[in-house]
Amino acid sequence: MTNNRNSRKRRKKKANIFLLVVILIFFVVAIIIGSILAKLSSTDLSANGEERMIVVDIPEGSTVGDIAEVLDKNNVIDTERHFMFLCKLNKQGSQFKYGKYEFSNKSDFFEIVEKLNNGESIDTSTHLTVKEGMWLSEIGDEVERLGLCSKEEFMEAANSRDYDYEFISKIPERENLLEGYLYPETYYFHEGVTAREIVETMLHQFNKVCVKNGIFNKAEKAGKSLDEYIIIASLIESEVRVESERKLVSSVIQNRIEEDMKLQIDASVIYAKGKRVNRVYYSDLENQSDYNTYYVKGLPVGPICSPRGSSILAAIEPEKTDYIYYVVDDQSAGTHYFTNDYDDFLAASARYKATLN
């Protein structure tokens, strides 16, 4: 009898412990779910960073999901999921209108909804488009043409290291310090913007693209400095029109460096000349500039334009080839002929020149 009572007590004790564990798990899960729901139910959509106004473009025909994605990508809201949850919870979205909007990155959900529902779109900003392959000096010309600031002010800001990005501290001392680092994109600026703010915005976009594509990590693992890869990327950007050729041109550049050959890239000659020309003369090749790759062996002293992300990636991850020459194959299509044989290169050059006559 005593053994039976002890056995029942043990079973009862185990049952009580099990029940207690279940209750504890239930409370933990309830707390977690409650915390998630509390976060999602909050109308505070504040994104990271200091408060600033951000202009976004909502295309015609955008769904609520499309709008949430645009707001998230432009760092207007904390997360796409949070915005979508609030839209469903508050039955919002069916009246959202397309257009250009200006939002604070510290907005409340209902502030954003009110603008989208009322169609309070704006376009009072000045649009600055930095095209892939533009020179720093050309960006300065465009900034001045748009009346944002003088070219002199812009160039001074673009030759400063006074920006909080680690990659800037590693750029060697040279003229046109931030050439290659002002990312090609369309930017929206308001009246009163300073030259420093313009440069800061472009550097922010460069940093954003590099982080998104793992460029900093890839460059570190690949063996060269980031600056060397930006220089190579700028050469690729200046030479290539067809996306599929970026890694091929990158392979030629890096193969020639390994072979201790001069790069002899015409785009560097034009940059050293300081003005855009359609034709390079033999006298231009003799220009004793550290940017002229007919004069210097190896890479030029710095980038020669603003490269896009795919050119930077191509610089870091070239195609594995034995090519050391390339020549224009079809000018209208922008394609090149690649080879590792000098006689083959000369023949291809002759074929191309014959098409110009």
Mean pLDDT of 98-110: 88
> Which of 245, 214, 268, 224 lies closest to 330 in space, CA to CA?
245
- Spatial contact of 231 and 293, defined as CB atoms under 8 Å apart: no
Q: What is the pLDDT of residue 256?
A: 97
- Angle subtended at Cα 210 by Cα 206 and Cα 214, rounded to the nearest 5 degrees: 175
This prediction has a pTM of 0.69
pLDDT tens across 105-124, in order?
Answer: 898 899 999 999 988 876 66
Q: What is the pLDDT of residue 45?
A: 81
Question: Torsion over CA of 177, 183, 188 and 194, rounded to 10 degrees?
Answer: -10
- Spatial contact of 119 and 101, defined as CB atoms under 8 Å apart: no
Superfamily of domain 53-118: Endolytic murein transglycosylase (3.30.1490.480)
- Angle subtended at Cα 312 by Cα 125 and Cα 213, rounded to the nearest 5 degrees: 75
- Spatial contact of 199 and 154, defined as CB atoms under 8 Å apart: yes
Domain limits of the chain?
14-40, 53-118, 126-212, 223-356
Confidence of residue 60 (pLDDT cuts 50, 70, 90): confident
